[in-house]
A and B are shown apart, each in its own frame.
Chain A
Amino acid sequence: MDMTSIKSTCLSGMVLLVFAAWQAAGAGTLEQVRERGKLRCGIVESSPGFSSIDDSGQRVGFDIDHCKTISAAIFGDIRIEYVPVTPHTVFTLLQSGEIDIFPDGATWSFIRDVSLGLDYTGVYLYAGQGFVVRRDTEVRSLRDLDGATICIAQGTTLEQNIADYFSANGMAYTPVTFADIDKGLQAYYADRCDAFTNERLSTAGRIANWPDRDEHLILDEVISKEPFAALVRQDDPRWRDIALWSFNVRFAAEEFGINQDNVDTVRENSPNAEIQRLLGVHGGFGEKLGLSNDWAYHIIRLVGNYNDMWERNFAPLGVKRGLNASWKDGGLHSALPFR
């Protein structure tokens, strides 16, 4: 290349960069997704129950269902580009617009909400940080862990929670901190640590198929309340509304008794005005979000209600709903009204 062509390449490169930055700032997320023809959804790979690949090569899991929920609301169809992220990259990818939404277990905490330039879209799961130990260590409760070596994964509030808990109870521990959850679990399995700590549900998923699963015990106690919510960028309120209300459709559907199997029948026959508004029979609620009026119908048709998601993803791991039951059944989830 001679000097002129180097210069012109540089120049056009710079112009492109500036232009791309301009465009990202200009168009709303919904328009960008529509134009692209698919949703860019950030996922954490290989977290059984939340995000994994089944025998037929399809992505399945609770997080995947969240991606599908948003895609169904926008396109009435599953059109998703899954972008694998790590806790290291996810905040940056969201801020720079590389992904449209990150549904996976990010704990909704004050600092994250107010200082990252990101917004949460409503709690969809009440999780908690738990511990798995070897039965032969005879640890039966958290108090028995004084002086233990504990494998942790970075990337969430886990490291702070454990430091807070142990110092509040006058206990000591040695952390072995991994960047990657699976490496941490592998190290625990190789007896590097006396315990492994992470979100309890996901740990249950990850150890479900260990050959010697029975030799390990997941302690009942949790040391943190982790309300999980999806993350979106803060500068697009419309997009946040879409995510929040799409997620809410699944709680509403469960409360109304609408599920994947009966949604067509209910849509045709239900006399309930709120259900009619929800399913787009009248009211024009979808349009107010910039979507088609049958957006919620597609969510329920393609993903189902909250219980459908639970039965599909967590029930096989032997995890009961507990706090995650509907308020009608003594849990914490309650749908926001569609009116």
Chain B
Amino acid sequence: MTKREIAYQVALLFIIGVVVYLVAGTTQGNLARLGVDSSIDFLWKRAGFEIGQKLIPFDANSTIARAFVVALLNTLLLAAVSIICASILGLAIGIARLSDNWLVSRLAAGYIEIFRNIPSLLQIFFWYFVVLRTLPRSSESIGFFNCIFLNNRGLFIPSVSFGQGWPWIVAALLAAWGMVYFLRRQERRQFAAPALIRPDTRRLNPLASWNLLILAGIVGAIVLLAGAQLEIPRETRFGYRGGIVMMPEFLSLVVGLSMYNATYIGEIVRSGFTSIPRGQTEAADSLGLPRRLTIRLVLFPQALRVIIPPLTTVYLNLFKSTSLAAAIAYPEVVSVFVGTVNNLVGQPVFIMAITMAVYVFISLCIALFLNWYNRKIALTVVT
């Protein structure tokens, strides 16, 4: 860089600094002039309201900060489940779109065109009110095996609570799994596996590790289940109580967000597969690989390199659009924090800033993870 270029950059930085300073100063000045309280002490005050879905204990006596965590966990749960569902559905749609079967590929195309072109908020409203109206009332619930119940108050499934010491058992299982994973890596290195071509070769090296894991799993499961207690939802005056409840809001959001975003994922998957030279399929065919294995072992790993970067964008969009949940009473961050809490304490500037910062942080985490994964699977040129 020349001195002149450096001077320009310093000047630019200075201007940006001044603008930020002025905006922050003016905002604070205006808030003070209007007599708006401006500190984040409100986070430690008593919340005084209830939240409909909570993954950690919470009641009206908890702090507002805890309410924020509850809401954030709800957001993350919704995002995670929706991302998984959208990915599975999107993969299926993308492959179906490429199918040689005319009807299947047309159906997939029709699905994409319809659901991609309707705003996702509208789809969420649609699913929500469709779900609410079509499901029966609590007294006429659809029951499965007398322990799972579905009605317009949600899906009620039994919950399992384990006896004391369950974290130790889970930790032991995880350790066992880690050990097996390590052993298998060693094993692969030793045999420098041509596993890609003949997956059956794996069976030639039956190390004891697998059996060990299975044994450990069985023992662990028995110990776990011995101390476990099953809570089955039971009917009360106002519908079912107990067990795990999936709110209709949650179900319809998962359906709405997955179906909408699956259209994009489907197209990305299709572009990924289309980008692979035809020769690859033909080579696999000539080796006599069945269709299923061709997709899994030849096409998919190569398509993934094209798929991951645009997929990151879709995941980020999906994560951000979980905020649409505020429209149908799912208690996520925007609904609880920007809605209820802001109303309570009336500090829109801070509340907005905190909420936005959290979204930015989590989005960046998602992007960082996928970028790391992308680099990991990228083609490395051997010289």
Contacting pair B340 A192 (CB below 8 A): no
Contacting pair A192 B153 (CB below 8 A): yes
Contacting pair A147 B328 (CB below 8 A): no
B26 → chain A closest CB, angstroms: 7
Most buried by A among B34, B152, B239: B34
B138 → chain A closest CB, angstroms: 8
Contacting pair B52 A174 (CB below 8 A): yes
Question: Which of B108-116, B142-150, B344-352 is near enough to bind chain A?
Answer: B344-352
Known: A154-B343, A176-B249, A192-B132. A147 touches B153 (CB 8 A): no
Known: A177-B331, A235-B34. A149 touches B342 (CB 8 A): no
Known: A91-B348, A92-B348, A177-B335. A194 touches B238 (CB 8 A): yes
Contacting pair A149 B33 (CB below 8 A): no
Contacting pair B329 A176 (CB below 8 A): yes
**Chain A 172-197 interface 0/1 with B at a Cβ cutoff of 8 Å (1 = within):** 01111111100110110011101000
Most buried by A among B35, B50, B327, B328: B50
B329 partner, pick from A87, A155, A156, A177, beta carbons under 8 A: A177
A-B contact count (CB 8 A): 117
Chain A residues positioned under 8 Å from B327 (CB to CB): 179-180, 183
Known: A147-B237, A179-B335. A173 touches B50 (CB 8 A): yes
In the assembly, what is the distance between CA of A36 and CA of B224, in Å? 73
Chain A residues positioned under 8 Å from B137 (CB to CB): 191
B156 → chain A closest CB, angstroms: 13
Q: Which of B338-378 contact A (CB under 8 A)?
A: 338-340, 342-346, 348
B25 → chain A closest CB, angstroms: 12
Q: Which of A20-46 contact B (CB under 8 A)?
A: 21, 25
Question: Interface size of A by Cβ–Cβ distance < 8 Å?
Answer: 45
The DSSP consensus for interface residues of chain A is mixed
A164 close to chain B: CB less than 8 A: yes
In the assembly, what is the distance between CA of A92 and CA of B60, in Å? 26
B241 close to chain A: CB less than 8 A: yes
Known: A160-B48, A179-B327. A190 touches B129 (CB 8 A): yes
Chain A residues positioned under 8 Å from B50 (CB to CB): 159, 162-163, 173-175
Contacting pair A190 B152 (CB below 8 A): yes
A115 close to chain B: CB less than 8 A: yes
Contacting pair B236 A147 (CB below 8 A): yes
B51 close to chain A: CB less than 8 A: yes
B248 close to chain A: CB less than 8 A: yes
B49 close to chain A: CB less than 8 A: yes
Contacting pair A187 B329 (CB below 8 A): yes
B14 → chain A closest CB, angstroms: 15
Known: A88-B338, A117-B34, A179-B326. A147 touches B241 (CB 8 A): yes
A240 close to chain B: CB less than 8 A: no
A95 close to chain B: CB less than 8 A: yes
In the assembly, what is the distance between CA of A111 and CA of B346, in Å? 9
In the assembly, what is the distance between CA of A25 and CA of B338, in Å? 27
From A189, which residue of chain B is reached at the shortest CB distance?
A: B132
Contacting pair A183 B346 (CB below 8 A): no
Contacting pair A149 B34 (CB below 8 A): no
A236 → chain B closest CB, angstroms: 11
Contacting pair B238 A147 (CB below 8 A): yes
A320 close to chain B: CB less than 8 A: no
B48 → chain A closest CB, angstroms: 5
Report, as a range, how many residues of chain B touch the other chain.
35 or more
Known: A154-B339, A154-B343. A115 touches B36 (CB 8 A): yes
Chain B residues positioned under 8 Å from A95 (CB to CB): 34, 36
B4 close to chain A: CB less than 8 A: no
**Chain B 129-162 interface 0/1 with A at a Cβ cutoff of 8 Å (1 = within):** 1001100010000000000000011000000000
A336 → chain B closest CB, angstroms: 25
Contacting pair B49 A191 (CB below 8 A): no
A319 close to chain B: CB less than 8 A: no
Chain A residues positioned under 8 Å from B31 (CB to CB): 117
Known: A156-B343, A177-B52. A191 touches B36 (CB 8 A): no
In the assembly, what is the distance between CA of A160 and CA of B45, in Å? 13
B187 close to chain A: CB less than 8 A: no
In the assembly, what is the distance between CA of A117 and CA of B249, in Å? 36
A41 → chain B closest CB, angstroms: 20
In the assembly, what is the distance between CA of A184 and CA of B35, in Å? 33
Contacting pair A177 B239 (CB below 8 A): no
B282 close to chain A: CB less than 8 A: no
Contacting pair A163 B48 (CB below 8 A): yes
Contacting pair B335 A234 (CB below 8 A): no
Q: Which of B295-349 contact A (CB under 8 A)?
A: 326-329, 331, 335-336, 338-340, 342-346, 348
From B26, which residue of chain A is reached at the shortest CB distance?
A: A21
Contacting pair B348 A176 (CB below 8 A): no
B37 close to chain A: CB less than 8 A: yes
In the assembly, what is the distance between CA of A152 and CA of B69, in Å? 21
Contacting pair A149 B238 (CB below 8 A): yes
In the assembly, what is the distance between CA of A92 and CA of B51, in Å? 25
Chain B residues positioned under 8 Å from A159 (CB to CB): 48-50, 340, 343
A116 close to chain B: CB less than 8 A: yes
Contacting pair B339 A179 (CB below 8 A): yes
Known: A175-B52, A178-B328, A235-B34. A88 touches B342 (CB 8 A): yes
A167 close to chain B: CB less than 8 A: yes
Most buried by A among B247, B328, B336: B328
A282 close to chain B: CB less than 8 A: no
Most buried by A among B26, B52, B335, B336: B52
**Chain B 21-46 interface 0/1 with A at a Cβ cutoff of 8 Å (1 = within):** 00000100011011111000000000
Known: A178-B328, A190-B132, A233-B34. A164 touches B48 (CB 8 A): yes
Contacting pair B35 A117 (CB below 8 A): yes
Chain A residues positioned under 8 Å from B335 (CB to CB): 154, 177, 179
From A86, which residue of chain B is reached at the shortest CB distance?
A: B339
19 A-B pairs besides A115-B37, A162-B50 with CB distance below 8 A are A112-B346, A115-B35, A115-B36, A115-B346, A117-B34, A151-B329, A154-B335, A155-B343, A159-B340, A164-B60, A176-B247, A177-B340, A178-B328, A187-B329, A191-B137, A192-B132, A194-B239, A233-B34, A235-B33
> Can you list 16 residue pairs at the A/B interface with Cβ under 8 Å?
A88-B339, A88-B343, A115-B35, A116-B35, A149-B153, A155-B339, A159-B48, A159-B50, A160-B49, A164-B48, A167-B60, A175-B51, A179-B327, A192-B248, A234-B34, A235-B35
A residues whose Cβ falls under 8 Å from a Cβ of B:
21, 25, 87-88, 91-92, 95, 111-112, 115-117, 137, 147-149, 151, 154-156, 159-160, 162-164, 167, 173-180, 183-184, 186-187, 190-192, 194, 233-235
